[in-house]
Amino acid sequence: MSVRIIGTGSALPQKEVSNEDLARLVETSDEWIRERTGIGSRHISTGETVVSLAAGACKKALENAEKTAAQVELLLVATCTPEQGIPCAACQVQSILGAENAVAFDLNAACAGFLFALHTAWAYIEAGIYQNALIAGSEVLSKIIDWDDRGTCVLFGDGAGAVLLERGTRPGILGFVQHSDGTKGQVLQCDSRKLENPYISESQYAPYVQMDGREVFAFAVRQVPACIAEVLERTGLTPDDVDLYVLHQANRRIIEGISRRLSVDMQKFPMNLDRVGNMSSAAIPVLLDELHRAGRLREGMTLVLSGFGAGLTYGACVLRW
């Protein structure tokens, strides 16, 4: 039995914001942002939502897989920026798509969210509970960013990507690992709603992303190669057996650090962060969709997907395309 990705899709907000545009908002420059992060521009919502972007990406993934919404059995949306606490984004996407036969719920593991949702769906399908799953990573990070904070506002973008996963006969997902370290949660955090009730006088509230960039950088460069080595060992592969490493698009220098630690050429690390920035849980599925549509994913190729982010959460997956 195997569980394979049979379709991909993505959706980005219309508005593109360049580094030069940001230099008109905060004291920064195209040179600083490119040099430290590799980011050149990003898409920012002027009305698109986590739900509308996820629905757009899911529709394209279904078209790509030549399936109908009614055939979907499990619908997961990975997001850390939902518009509403209730109902969950996945149920709203279900309604838009007309995926009336699906069970739908959200999953939040920040930038590792899409990967954890993929693993969750794999487990359901592998257990024989569902035959397929539509999985989206969707974020509108622009609403939780302090646009006066040059240390964070230059990093992020909005968007969504989706895949359709199905039980099949050809090899697909070969193995995965996932980890969490809640003791380091303070390095990247953002409050949701303020605690307000008649029984308290005052509560702390920090509704925008707060980040210790250096800690995040050090964590990613240390833990991601270890996690990739772990999943490769589990699947009996070496770093050289992998055709492409599709990593969370946080920062070019992080990806370069990971490639050095694995002793793998940068050619094997496709990137789109120069055009879209860091889209948290949407980063991996959007990149996967771009690669797929560009014809860069050929049948039988071995891919490693790896996501890492707030929580801290991190994981990696090996799959045969």
Alpha helices in 136-189 (DSSP H): 150-153
Provide Rg for the chain, Cα atoms: 19
Contact between 85 and 58 under an 8 Å Cβ cutoff? The reply is no
- Dihedral sign of CA atoms 31, 256, 181, 123 in order: positive
Q: Using alpha carbons, select from 172, 192, 187, 58 the residue that is nearest to residue 126.
A: 172
Contact between 249 and 287 under an 8 Å Cβ cutoff? The reply is yes
Beta bridge partners of 314: 179, 308
Interface pick for ligand ACO out of 178, 259, 278, 306 (rule CB under 6 A): 278
Beta bridge partners of 105: 76
How far from 71 is each of 101, 138, 155, 171, 295, CA to CA, in Å? 7, 22, 37, 22, 26
Considering 111, 153, 190, 317, which one is annotated as catalytic? 111
184 versus 320: smaller Cβ distance to ligand ACO: 184
32 versus 105: smaller Cβ distance to ligand ACO: 32
Interface pick for ligand ACO out of 87, 184, 191, 217 (rule CB under 6 A): 217
Q: Which helix (H) or strand (E) holds 41?
A: strand 41-43
211 versus 271: smaller Cβ distance to ligand ACO: 211
**Could you say whether residue 216 binds ligand ACO (CB under 6 A)?**
yes
**Could you say whether residue 81 binds ligand ACO (CB under 6 A)?**
no
Q: Which stretch binds ligand ACO (CB under 6 A): 59-67, 130-138, 159-167, 214-222?
A: 214-222
Please, what is the minimum distance in Å from the beta carbon of residue 156 to ligand ACO?
7
Interface pick for ligand ACO out of 214, 263, 267, 295 (rule CB under 6 A): 214
Q: Which stretch binds ligand ACO (CB under 6 A): 1-9, 163-171, 192-200, 210-218?
A: 210-218
Per CB under 6 A, contacts with ligand ACO among 149-188 are: 150-151, 154-155, 188
How far from 84 is each of 112, 157, 302, 304, 312, CA to CA, in Å? 21, 20, 38, 33, 23
Q: Is 111 a catalytic residue?
A: yes
Tokens 């850390």 locate to 80
**Could you say whether residue 105 binds ligand ACO (CB under 6 A)?**
no
Considering 108, 248, 251, 292, which one is annotated as catalytic? 248
**Could you say whether residue 208 binds ligand ACO (CB under 6 A)?**
no
The distance from CA 119 to its chain's CA centroid, rounded to whole angstroms, is 13
| Greatest C-alpha distance within the chain | 61
19-38 mask for ligand ACO (x: CB under 6 A)? ---------x---xx--xx-
Binding-site residue total for ligand ACO (CB under 6 A)?
22
Q: Is 248 a catalytic residue?
A: yes
Q: Which stretch binds ligand ACO (CB under 6 A): 74-82, 85-93, 215-223, 290-298?
A: 215-223
**Could you say whether residue 79 binds ligand ACO (CB under 6 A)?**
no
- Give the integer Cα–Cα distance in Å for 271 and 161: 15
Q: Is 119 a catalytic residue?
A: no
**Could you say whether residue 137 binds ligand ACO (CB under 6 A)?**
no
Contact between 304 and 297 under an 8 Å Cβ cutoff? The reply is no
102 versus 154: smaller Cβ distance to ligand ACO: 154
Residues tagged active-site:
111, 248, 278
Q: Which residues bind ligand ACO (CB under 6 A)?
A: 28, 32-33, 36-37, 111, 150-151, 154-155, 188, 211, 213-214, 216-217, 220, 250-251, 278, 308-309
